Amino acid sequence: MTVDLSARQRILDAAAGLLSERGYGETSLRLLASEVGIKAASVYYHFDSKEALYTEVLQAGMDIMIDRFEAVEEADFDSGRSRLQAHVSGHLDALHSNLQYTALHVSEFRTAPATVRTQLVPRRDEYESMWTALLTAVLPETPATEISILRLGLFGAMNSSIDWFDAAKGGLGEFSDVITDAFWAGADNRKRRIAS
């Protein structure tokens, strides 16, 4: 009954790394297997197919982001702005602490096989709706269409950091500040301008 999960996990980790670095088509099962120290055929003992493995890696990436969002929500906030700030920090930290899994979701989802994409849509929608609810709560009186645009812009800005962020050059803190400032003040300013 004791199942050894470590080999399976090692395959998942290696797959996440290779997939996010090289893309789906350029990552062969033989290369992946050699990274783990086994043969390609042995991957099939743990996973049904390359697509199933891909799906599971992407699923794990999404779970990481959702878990973090829920953890952040546990805290108490003295303002809408600090709540937004905490979530921006949380998203960025979760993103970069598990880059192989999460970056894959940002950069490779679009070109993933249709069967893979379909399985992931519900979980992605779930995460998006969490953010929509958050923005609606901290930016009341902002129309839904604008909330939607803000969320997409915010996601774009945050997720782009996987392409350029270099931990050696400084923390994510400053980026987190700038982004929060931008979308907070921007929305606020816009609201006042339109109201007048």
Partner DNA sequence: TGGACTGCCTAACGATCGTTAGGTAGGGTC
Partner DNA sequence: GACCCTACCTAACGATCGTTAGGCAGTCCA
Binds DNA by CB under 7 A, chosen from 31, 133, 178, 185: 31
Residue 39 sits in the site that holds DNA (CB under 7 A): yes
Interacting positions 95-134 with DNA (CB under 7 A): none
Residue 80 sits in the site that holds a copy of itself (CB under 8 A): no
Binds a copy of itself by CB under 8 A, chosen from 5, 9, 26, 125: 26
Residue 125 sits in the site that holds a copy of itself (CB under 8 A): no
Tokens of 138: 């901290």
Residue 152 sits in the site that holds a copy of itself (CB under 8 A): yes
The string of DSSP codes covering 86-128 is HHHHHHHHHHHHTHHHHHHHHHTGGGS-HHHHHHHHHHHHHHH
Binds DNA by CB under 7 A, chosen from 9, 21, 22, 41: 41
Integer CA distances (angstroms), 129 to 123, 136, 146, 152, in order = 10, 10, 14, 12
Q: State the minimum distance, in angstroms, from the CB of residue 47 to a copy of itself.
A: 20
**Dist. CA 96–CA 84, nearest whole Å:** 18
Are 64 and 98 a contacting pair, CB within 8 Å? yes
3-state secondary structure of 24: coil
Binds DNA by CB under 7 A, chosen from 51, 73, 93, 146: 51
- Tell me which DSSP letter residue 25 carries: T
Contacts 24+ apart (CB under 8 A), 45-50: 46/7, 46/8, 46/11, 47/11
Q: Which stretch binds a copy of itself (CB under 8 A): 19-27, 39-47, 50-58, 61-69?
A: 19-27
Provide the binding-site residues for a copy of itself, judged by CB under 8 A.
Answer: 21-26, 107-108, 110-111, 145-146, 149-150, 152-161, 163-164, 174-175, 177-179, 181-190, 193
Residue ranges in contact with DNA by CB under 7 A: 3-4, 7, 27-31, 33, 37-46, 49-51
